[in-house]
A and B are shown apart, each in its own frame.
Chain A
Amino acid sequence: MNNRLKVLRAERSWSQQDLADRLGVSRQSVNAIETGRYDPSLPLAFTIAEVFGLPIEAIFSRD
């Protein structure tokens, strides 16, 4: 899966740690998702969408 996490984070001037704190996960998790090494579960993907105030499909897309 592709994702726009890095761009969305940059638009808000959030560090990976800032986003991790908002999501309640570790910075490693954000880094792994952002770099495509790990695809989040559906509940975490929904939380990410809520944090950015966007629908899931505006953040994640298929390869």
Chain B
Amino acid sequence: MEKATTPAGRSPWFWAGNYLVSSAIIVVLKLTDAITAPIAMILFLGAMGLLIPLVRAGERRNCANPVIVRYNRRFLAAAFGYVLGLGIAITLWNNFELSGPVVFAIALLPTIPTFAMIWAMGRYLVEETDEYLRYRTVRAALMSLGMVLAIGIFWGFLEMFELVPHIWAWWVLPVWAIGLGLAQLWMKVRGE
């Protein structure tokens, strides 16, 4: 059993805790109108910097192979791009009278980094040479896809009959990512 803290650095939990506390503080400051949306975005980008040591600590602890390290780098870069793109898009939308192609262009700002996330996941599956790890990831991805389809269809009909509010379609990616995490946790609990 490995120790929680290795001589090489702090535990991933330390960085995860710092990240969550920082994010929570920013959310509270924003909800209480202590800071404006652009300031909140800049602070959140700073807080996201904590994800770098978090990912590195996780890689050290799990002796991650180079493919996983590459995936983490790509995904983190895309996540930074997403927050930055979303922040810029919302700021522009809230402060200017935009229409037509400009709106299309600002919609692309957060969208393109999410395409990069999907590409990073695809590349991981292509580059992973360990067939068991690839099998586990594919299985978790399919389980999560099933969850997204089930929730999406159920929600769609509930929405059609006006029982639940409308939600934006971009929610599919975060819901899928949560499902991926849950599926991996479920496989771990079952000892698979």
Contacts and interface: CB of A to CB of B under 8 A. Distances in A.
A7 interface: no
Overall SS of chain B's interface: loop
B192 A26 contact: no
A41 interface: yes
B135 interface: yes
B131 A41 contact: yes
Nearest to B132: A29
The size bracket of the interface on A is: 10 to 19
Given A37-B191, A37-B192, A24 B129 contact: yes
A37 B135 CA distance: 12
Interface in A5-51: 24-26, 28-29, 32-33, 37-38, 40-41, 44
B133 A44 contact: no
Nearest to A26: B130
Interface in B109-136: 129-133, 135
A26 B133 CA distance: 8
B40 to A, nearest CB: 40
Contacts of A38: 132, 135
10 contacts: A25-B132, A26-B132, A28-B133, A29-B131, A29-B132, A29-B133, A37-B191, A38-B135, A40-B132, A44-B131
Interface of A: 24-26, 28-29, 32-33, 37-38, 40-41, 44
